[in-house]
Amino acid sequence: MSSEVSRRIFLQQLGAAAAVTALPLSLVEIAWGAGKGESFTFAYISDPHITQIKGTEFVDNFDKGLAKAVLEVNFMFPQPDFVVFGGDLAQLGKPEELDHGMEMLSKLTLPVRYVIGEHDYYLDLGKYWEEKISKLNYSFDHKGVHFVVLNSILTDDDWTHKRWPTAAERMQQMARLDNPDGSPFMVKEAQRNWLKADLAKIDKKTPIVVMSHSPLYKIYKGWNFWTDDAEEVQALLQPFQQVTVLHGHVHQILYNQIGNITFHAMMSTAWPWPYPHSFAGKPSMVPKLTVPMNRADPFHERDATGWSAIDLASGKVTNRLELWENTPRTVAEDEKTGLPADSQYQDPAKRIPPQDHY
């Protein structure tokens, strides 16, 4: 980790700590409702796509991205409460890739919560993940916030169980981005019923944070930046006053607001994807709120990759994107509009040429 990056993270954290310390305690209590919660931070690392070449040889660039994120999170001060891993630890779901990735993640000094991605799932339909890493969907509570983890990368049974002659072929097909033989992601009825039962126990004033791999809204079906039953999931979340969905998969900055739900995408530590409308040249539903990330410089392998530090205060998420070899971005609720906004670039007059995608 460069001295400039470590210094920037240290100063950001020091400034945040100083700001919180300077606030009268009553303000925090009033924001939450006295005694019901407190502000906290967690880190979010996603989409390293660890790729085996042969034996113990792996793609070095992707290894370095994950190792860099782990090192920087361990150096955060003050330390976050925990880390979320957002999915796609492996590229082709092989045990060797998952084991190698978990060995690197084991160097984190904090508890880790795991979300599964399609690259982790479709070789053995999540069996190795469940045995060695985590449940596929679950919930937990932390300092007054209810967290839900969903397996959002399921698809229809015929595609999963009947279409492909081997598990390896199924995995290869799902690993493609622009794939006419692909199939849209779904949460599916059984998991939606589980979510409904889980939320039935939660007070409607409790802040909810849902963590999925795919976005729980529809952006571009051709690349599976899409969850087919997203609206049905959103309907289950609608009764709650504050809901945030954090997702990986898209490898780019995206943020959106649909009704009471705020959406934030997380960066990849491996590579960036272009925005669908700029690369595919086809209509997409990239949120109008989103100020695009800078176009990646192909001569800088870490450009447009990174990780996030998530601050939660009064149940509202501030997403501090640590972008390697680029300017960090912060996306938080605009107090005037109630919508997520970039702290520096939301005003069109303040944007810079690399944010114009074509």
Across all residues in the chain, what is the average pLDDT?
89
Give me the percent of the chain exceeding a pLDDT of 90: 79
H or E, element range at 264: strand 261-265
Residue 353 placed within a domain: no
Residue 296 placed within a domain: yes
Q: Which residues lie closer than 8 Å to 127 by C-beta, 6 or more apart?
A: none
Regarding predicted confidence, which is higher, 14 or 150? 150
Residue 272 placed within a domain: yes
d(CA 351, CA 41): 28
Report pLDDT for 295. 87
Contact 10, 77 (CB under 8 A): yes
- Residue 140, Cβ density class (10 Å: 0-12 exposed, 13-18 middle, ≥19 buried): exposed
Residue 355 placed within a domain: no
Say what the pTM is: 0.89
pLDDT at 37 over 70: no
The DSSP string of 190-258 is HHHHHHHHHHTTS-TTS-EEEEESS-SS-SBGGGTB-BTTHHHHHHHHTTSS-EEEEE-SS-S--EEEE
Residue 80 placed within a domain: yes
**Residue 280: which pLDDT band, with cuts at 50, 70 and 90?**
low
Residue 84 structural domain: 3-341
List, for residues 54-79, the tens digit of each pLDDT value: 999 999 999 999 999 999 999 999 99
- φ and ψ at residue 157, rounded to 5 degrees: -65, -40
CATH number, domain at 176?
3.60.21.10
- Residue 330, Cβ density class (10 Å: 0-12 exposed, 13-18 middle, ≥19 buried): middle
Total tally of structural domains belonging to the chain: 1
Contact 244, 182 (CB under 8 A): no
Average pLDDT over residues 97-104: 98
**Residue 1: which pLDDT band, with cuts at 50, 70 and 90?**
very low
Residue 349 placed within a domain: no
Which residues partner with 329 through β-bridges?
321
List, for residues 189-217, the tens digit of each pLDDT value: 999 999 999 999 999 999 999 999 999 99
3-state helix, strand, coil in the chain (%, to 5): 30, 20, 45
Regarding predicted confidence, which is higher, 280 or 6? 280
Contact 185, 218 (CB under 8 A): no
Report pLDDT for 346. 96
List, for residues 107-148, the tens digit of each pLDDT value: 999 999 999 999 999 999 999 999 999 999 999 999 999 999
Residue 350 placed within a domain: no
Residue 61 placed within a domain: yes
List, for residues 228-279, the tens digit of each pLDDT value: 999 999 999 999 999 999 999 999 999 999 999 999 999 999 999 989 888 7
- C-alpha angle 218/175/70, rounded to 5°? 90
d(CA 95, CA 124): 10
**Residue 32: which pLDDT band, with cuts at 50, 70 and 90?**
very low
